[in-house]
Structure 1
Amino acid sequence: MKRFCQMLRLKENKDLIEEYTRVHANVWPEVQRGIKEVGILDMQIYVRDNLLFMIVDTIDGFDWERDMTRLSMLPRQAEWERFVAKFQDVEEGASSREKWTLMDKIFELVK
């Protein structure tokens, strides 16, 4: 299994952040199916103020660029990205790859 962690900033607006949280309680079924179809096993998003942190666990053969590009072309994915963009502190028309910043792991507790 591979793990990827990313961050993104939301617009600093309490009402928008609350709505973004509500929206993610009901992610469209086509988007959820697409996430699984490309090899993502688990995806979690955490929020603190206007900062989001996402953990993505994938199959071993997952290639971030290839498989996220494939995800972007699946049904309703582009529509979802446009829909949630109104909450995000990003340039208009930015792709998911441009919005979310991959993070580097700097520590792991030895098992």
Structure 2
Amino acid sequence: MTCDLINNQKLIAEYKDFHAKGKAWPEITESIKSAGIVDMQIYLTGNRMFMIMECDSSFNPNKKAEMDANNPKVQEWEMLMWKYQLGVPWAKNGEKWVEMEKIFQLI
């Protein structure tokens, strides 16, 4: 998945700090794990981010979205992150993270 950050070095540094090891809110990491996401990595270049998720067979993106919508702490986190995030130019209105199409794999 991909998402942009507002192109402001101070805001980018704050965003990175929120995501530093052990700093993400425990309710957020628990909501990720409970949805069947086994591992998640976020990479940054400039102000563009790329998220790679490793999921088990129980993961369902629609169920995850529903769980997040009904979790007040996740909603609080998402509202806070909007201070930093900016949807990519082709994102739908209100959409942050956009799924990417895999076009190559070596093995």
Contact 2:68 2:75 in 1 (8 A): no
Q: Which of the numbers 3, 6, 9 marks the counterpart of 1:14?
A: 9
The structural deviation recorded for 1:75 is: 4.6
Q: Which of the numbers 75, 79, 90 marks the counterpart of 2:76?
A: 79
Kindly provide the amino acid, as one letter, of the partner of residue 7 in structure 1.
T
Shift >4 Å, 4+ stretches: none
Q: Who is 1:3 aligned against?
A: none
- Structure 2 gaps of 5+ residues are 88-92
Report how many aligned residue pairs link the two structures.
101
* Cα separation, 2, equivalents of 1:19 and 1:62: 30
* Cα separation, 1, equivalents of 2:69 and 2:55: 16
TM-score by length of 2: 0.85
Q: Give the number of the structure whose residues are more often helix, by fraction.
A: 1
% of aligned pairs identical? 39
Summarize the alignment of residues 1-111 of structure 1 with structure 2, pairs less than 5 Å apart: 6-25=1-20, 26-90=23-87, 94=94, 98-110=95-107
Which sits farther off after the overlay, 26-35 or 54-63? 54-63
CA deviation vs aligned residue, 1:11-40 (integer Å, no higher than 9, x gap) = 110111011001111100011111111111
Give the alignment's Cα RMSD to 1 decimal: 1.8
Kindly provide the amino acid, as one letter, of the partner of residue 15 in structure 2.
Y
* Cα separation, 2, equivalents of 1:46 and 1:32: 17
- Structure 1 gaps of 5+ residues are 1-5
